[in-house]
């Protein structure tokens, strides 16, 4: 109880530096703070530490087996959208729902949101675009050395699962445009996967072949002569038998988690950037947020990461920062 009282006494203010214009506010604030105080911040997008994907980047992409890359497809076809209709309920006495909600809009209470129900609402997250696309988009950017997209466009909505309370899109496409290369996202929470072998994945198309990858494996398919290459995820059950006993573990991801943490500790010790530095996480996350804004507004958007605006589009720029629920405020004071 004392801890809860201490938390409740915290001033509900989120600060950003004076030089920041409050666009993509939270991500920009975290990045600015990390740089201002020279702190190592590692984002948990562990594809950069996944052994078989590290091998694919080194032996396929960096080795030039793909040739020139002009097109990438990323997708998620998991039926993961919660389409239920729970009734309104009294807020449990042990839950500070106001504090849990924070600056987000306060939804009527209909069950513990932090047990996964939060994913069904744009008030609390960024839909499947911000939940699943960010991981595959980040992996592709890392593999190909891509920065901010030149332009982002997206369409979609709730087309199939219309009976539940959820307000996230069940169908969405997006294009992240680069010079000479398009990265195209597609998700559906209904129907069958376009490729059942790769329901949540990336496919990098080069002039000399195609690289398919996901958390479990990768496949390289050369164009014309050459040998196909297939590699499964690394499992370390014998080396780390506790992997087989931990409840709820994603055992295929355990080696990546360990490498990610080791890299984080090494970066702290040496004062270097980790493999998933906060800036890279911000670019991938903000790009997905902008894709959602493009879907909402019905037009392509170009983000200027230096000015932190969408040039020539005041409406879209305003949406990069949503209004905060009182008494929360977004302050322009220095951190």
pTM listed for this prediction: 0.91
Cβ neighbours of residue 31 closer than 8 Å, sequence gap 6 or more: 278, 279, 282
Q: What pLDDT is recorded for position 225?
A: 85
Inter-CA distances, 213 with 31, 50, 149, 326, Å: 29, 11, 21, 44
Sequence-ordered list of residues with C-beta below 8 angstroms from that of 35, at least 6 positions apart, any chain:
none
Domains of the chain: 43-80+113-252+284-303 (3.30.360.10)
Amino acid 306: pLDDT: 92
State residue 17's pLDDT score: 39
Distance CA 128, CA 134 (A): 9
Q: Which residues pair with 151 in a beta bridge?
A: 177
CB 311 within 8 A of CB 302: yes
178 vs 68: CA distance, rounded Å: 14
Tens-level pLDDT at each residue, the chain (335 residues): 333 333 343 444 444 333 333 347 788 888 999 999 999 999 999 999 999 999 999 999 999 999 999 999 999 999 999 999 999 999 999 999 999 999 999 999 999 998 899 999 999 999 999 999 999 999 999 999 999 999 999 999 999 999 999 999 999 999 999 999 999 999 999 999 999 999 999 999 999 999 999 999 999 999 988 899 999 999 999 999 999 999 989 999 999 999 999 999 999 999 999 999 999 999 999 999 999 999 999 999 999 999 999 999 999 999 998 888 988 887 654 33
Strands 13-15 and 329-331: parallel
Classify the phi-psi angles of 325: left when phi > 0, otherwise alpha if psi is within -120 to 50, otherwise beta: beta
């Amino acid at each position: 109880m004392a801890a809860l009282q201490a938390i409740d006494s915290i001033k509900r203010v989120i600060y950003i530096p004076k030089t920041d214009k409050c666009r993509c506010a939270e991500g920009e604030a975290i990045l600015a703070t990390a740089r201002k105080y020279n702190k190592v911040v590692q984002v948990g997008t562990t594809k950069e530490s996944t052994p078989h994907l590290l091998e694919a980047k080194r032996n396929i992409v960096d080795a030039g087996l793909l040739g020139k890359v002009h097109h990438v497809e990323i997708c998620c076809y998991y039926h993961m959208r919660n389409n239920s209709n729970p009734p309104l309920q009294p807020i449990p006495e042990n839950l500070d729902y106001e504090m849990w909600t924070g600056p987000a809009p306060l939804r009527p209470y209909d069950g513990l949101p932090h047990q996964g129900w939060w994913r069904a609402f744009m008030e609390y997250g960024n839909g499947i675009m911000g939940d699943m696309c960010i991981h595959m988009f980040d992996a592709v950017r890392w593999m190909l050395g891509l920065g901010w997209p030149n332009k982002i466009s997206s369409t979609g909505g709730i087309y199939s699962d219309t009976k539940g309370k959820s307000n996230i899109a069940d169908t969405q496409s997006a294009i992240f445009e680069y010079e000479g290369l398009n990265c195209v996202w597609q998700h559906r929470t209904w129907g069958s996967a376009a490729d059942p072998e790769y329901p949540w994945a990336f496919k990098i198309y080069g002039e000399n072949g195609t690289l398919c990858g996901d958390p479990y494996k990768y496949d390289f398919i050369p164009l014309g002569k050459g040998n196909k290459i297939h590699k499964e995820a690394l499992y370390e059950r014998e080396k780390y038998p506790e992997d087989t006993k931990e409840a709820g573990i994603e055992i295929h991801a355990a080696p990546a988690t360990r490498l990610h943490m080791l890299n984080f500790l090494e970066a702290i010790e040496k004062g270097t950037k980790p493999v998933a530095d906060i800036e890279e996480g911000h670019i991938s996350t903000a790009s997905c947020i902008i894709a959602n804004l493009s879907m909402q507004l019905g037009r392509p958007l170009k983000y200027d990461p230096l000015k932190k605006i969408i040039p020539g589009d005041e409406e879209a720029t305003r949406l990069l920062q949503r209004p905060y629920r009182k008494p929360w405020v977004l302050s322009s004071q220095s951190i």
